Amino acid sequence: MSQTFHHFSELFAQLGLPSDDQGIRDFLTSHSPLAHDIPLPDAPFWNAAQAAFLREGLLQDADWAEMIDQLNIALRTA
């Protein structure tokens, strides 16, 4: 089984967000800290497509799951 490893910036691009270093920092700064009782895909700042992508990526343990987990951690530690 082949597994693809993605970079954090690629996840941001996949979500349709700015994926340069400054864009990532700005996003994390403006949306952190995310309360621990809110599942990442249910955060109020995602649109429906972004939330679905995150939810499916985690449920299916897809190639993106590791980066989604890193995003989850980054948004909760501010």
Residue 62 token pair: 């897809």
- The predicted-structure confidence for 45-76, as pLDDT tens digits, reads as follows 999 999 999 999 998 877 899 999 999 999 99
Give residue 8's identity as a one-letter amino acid code: F
pTM, to two decimals: 0.87
**Mind listing the pLDDT tens digit for each residue in 20-42?**
999 999 999 999 999 999 999 99
What percent of the chain is helix, strand and coil (3-state, nearest 5)?
60, 0, 40
Residue ranges of domains in the chain, CATH in brackets:
8-76 (1.10.10.1130)
Q: Which of 9-27 are b and which e, b meaning 16 or more Cβ less than 10 Å from the residue's Cβ?
A: bebbebbeeebeeeebeeb
